[in-house]
Structure 1
Amino acid sequence: MINCINIQIQIPLYQKKFRSPFLFPITVEIDCRRHPNLRPVKFNVLEDAIRGGYPIVLIAEDIEQEALATLVVNKLRGALKIAALKAPGFGERKSQYLDDIAILTGGTVIREEVGLTLDKAEKEVLGHASKVVLTKDTTTIVGDGSTQEAVNKRVAQIRNLIEAAEQDYEKEKLNERIAKLSGGVAVIQVGAQTETELKEKKLRVEDALNATKAAVEEGIVVGGGCTLLRLASKVDAIRDSLDNDEEKVGADIVKRALSYPLKLIAKNAGVNGSVVSEKVLSSDNFKYGYNAATGKYEDLMAAGIIDPTKVVRCCLEHASSVAKTFLMSDCVVVEIKEPEQVPAGNPMDNSGYGY
């Protein structure tokens, strides 16, 4: 029997927390956006949800505590499958995000300035989604595909705004909106013969997924320790500019640390790390490096030996932070392992048989 598990790769559409932990553990299908301040009065959309038995998401600028408590009580009683979210963004950008969500789901943003209030709204204002996944920090809305044409038009409209925008910050935010509207959800199916193998494969897939997300955020660099090795070669110029001898010693330590990963990879592959380092540095091609899997020197980018830039950066930052903590500490407590004593043999047992 083969065990299988589905791993959902979800693109967070909006970085916004759910309003109450009691409203969290549900997966909703229908998305409703509404105006600020949900008041505890009679709402047709909520009554329709109770009668129809379908889950509903309410997105608002804010929700009064009394109204939120009412929603929580109805959720706990099982009368209403609901989740309440605070609208993402600030100011005008918040309104734009709500419009994007409405287009994605085919819903209507309820605004008093256009004469539409929540207490008078009918179920026609509700949007639809195949799935909405809520976590502690993010909300992922998966469209049902029925509004793809409208989404494409919205993306084209935002692209026109990018061309007209003058500030880089504004262009960045507009690109984020396009990414959120154009994002999707993929499902990776992992199969294995045993549960132990399945868990191990699942961890590998999740690790690859996290690395991919990091690469999307900050790009990639040559892997196999080659990027750090080439950074180490740049330390000498920095060292020569230092006047303090202690700082020069620190620069030497950093240089040795940067060259160590490649040497360790080479050692684990059964080759001399110093020889590998010299050969890699002898080439001016920054993509040139040692592929420990094949034992060849080649273009690591073309071979797929890469690291996310964010991972390399964070490793350097965290390592320097730990080193700084050690330097500023008065003392450090470590565990000294005592060497294991070899048990003495039986002097009478010379033949290998005991008497």
Structure 2
Amino acid sequence: MPKQISFDEDARRALERGVNKLADAVKVTLGPRGRHVVLDKKFGGPTVTLDGVTVAREIELEDSFENLGAQLAKSVATKTNDIAGDGTTTATVLAQALVRVGLRNVAAGANPTSLGRGMQAAVDHVVEFLKNKATPIKGRDNVAQVGTVSSRDSSIGALLGEAIEKVGEDGVITIEESSTLATELEITEGVQFDKGYISAYFATDPETQEAVYDDAYVLLHREKISALADLLPVLEKVAQSGKPLLIVAEDLEGEALSTLVVNSIRKTIKVVAVKAPYFGDRRKAFLDDLATVTGAQVVAAEVGLKLSEVGLEVLGTVRRVHVTKDNTTIVDGGGKSDDVAGRVEQLRKEIEAPTPTGTARSCRSGWLSCPAASR
């Protein structure tokens, strides 16, 4: 399709119209008295929501230039959701105001570069002011109040306060669909780390872009996996078992990745691959931690294990694995509780050692020892 080009005031006004159309649809959900928005879905029935970013994600405009503006505003909501998890409607409304005032000043002859610098300086000042005025949340009641405002449901707010009280600040909270009509809290042993799937094609839910599997095997590999021949033996054994497979490795590329993606799309095998976080010794230590939690053995040449020669005996297990584009959460790993407790105690002793890696060890001991709550 040939590219359309627009300049100057016409281009700016088209972008502004796009921003306004998206923001006007989103901002009706703002605040405790915000209204619901009904979304027409391609599949299934309509969705009723009060969530600003959910509304924003559904908006595509027919005019290509207006759609560019809408996508810019959408990126504000999605980034706010990724970083903060809330406040997406407020962020969109602020972005709309900045665009409106900014374009008005540009039309009046202001220098766009100087205007941008001034806006950034103002943002920095406001952020610093808010940080100084912010009150740290303390106790179950404070958490419940925030949860109630965000969800507009006092029972959910109370449940959230209970969950954070039980799992602590380093704990992980996930939301799962209940098999009953009740909203319940369940505390399980689990861990979360900041790496998501290598390819979006591994997502089991195209709407939420998440991969969720129950009763899965876990393969931990210290190096890159690129040759399909190396991965095929263990892959065939997992496929015969009928269980899903989580792969955590330095990287997955080439024919190994493409084959997994194709088979995942065709649902020949249930699999999701994740890059191991960190580098060097920190990555090695992380994989050892994960091996302790899941009951797996880390496949590496230095311990005499070759990927092409191993079977199910080196794999760990988890009751549930939940992977997004940014995070991986493991619930109820198959490792022995005594081994996990021993590993945590070892890390806590190492934290006291005067080394630059003390902070990293502290983080690792935190996610190893804290439970996960699901509701």
TM-score, normalization by structure 2: 0.46
What TM-score do the two structures reach when normalised by structure 1? 0.49
